[in-house]
A = this chain, B = another copy of it.
């Protein structure tokens, strides 16, 4: 940690800061500049995490040097984490495509979509049984019934299933059905939920919050890993900016940034990011070109009657055509799909 003192910090304030650093078991090095005094702190600065130095009188700014996360970081684990879900490897050389409707609606519809995306080459089925909706008057999902339809679709197609968990109290019910638990963007900092999914052993896909920095995103993943679950998948799904031409702004540069900082697999959800069907294919291709380990794409056989987000769902036939195009991009970056 580097501590920059205020221009007119007193000697007494300086001595007090030095004492606090020493009391934490760290070594302060004082550098008297012409205009400012800087104190460099040698040692594991995480010792200072509980009582931040920035509140000490005379301190202008305390700049941490080490990253605040540990288990998720590439310093901690050099090789990429590969997560095995019923034989599907997430984070390996092969790019994984998760597809399916926004919400589970009927048993028949879900199974037929599942069969179609499987034909197209998707390897995991998505579908929401519990839906977080901005309005209390929007469709909130079928609940447990939806989970049963997902299980049924898996039985018929063999595709593992991913579905969103909203509440720690749903965990036992979820555990009976889901292969991967999804934490949605709105719950990225629902720390209790993170701790709970961290304390069970199903893989967890964590979506980046709408206004979460990459540092905060990784700290939320750290919550899950710190609770004992090493199978965390990261998913970028668009951030909130001033631009309204797209629902959100897909931050593809998060891919190489995350790749440098963490060993965890990186999935991109272009459907939620752009919010319009015809913008999904170019962004899906771009995600793979930028190095994503997988994609999550909304597919619905009758988008206009979808209970949610119909305007961003692809038709199965368009999805299948996209898959063909994605295979070419995957090959161009030395991967398969």
Contact = CB atoms under 8 A, between A and B. Distances in A.
A32 B325 CA distance: 39
Contacts of A82: none
As for how many copies of this chain the complex holds, the number is 4
Interface stretch (A86-94, A111-119, A145-153, A237-245): A237-245
Contacts of A332: 325, 328-329, 331-332
A57 interface: yes
A44 B50 contact: no
A206 B38 CA distance: 34
A56 B232 CA distance: 35
Given A65-B33, A329-B333, A257 B239 contact: no
A135 B49 contact: yes
A251 B244 CA distance: 12
A209 to B, nearest CB: 8
18 contacts: A31-B42, A32-B42, A36-B65, A49-B138, A51-B305, A52-B310, A57-B304, A190-B190, A239-B243, A241-B241, A249-B249, A253-B273, A282-B289, A285-B290, A285-B333, A286-B286, A288-B289, A332-B332
Interface of A: 2, 4, 7, 20, 29, 31-36, 38, 40, 42-44, 46, 49-52, 54-57, 63, 65-66, 68-69, 75, 132-140, 166-169, 186-187, 189-192, 195, 209-211, 213-216, 219-220, 222-223, 226-227, 239-246, 249-257, 260, 273-274, 278-279, 282-283, 285-291, 303-307, 310-311, 313, 325, 328-329, 331-333
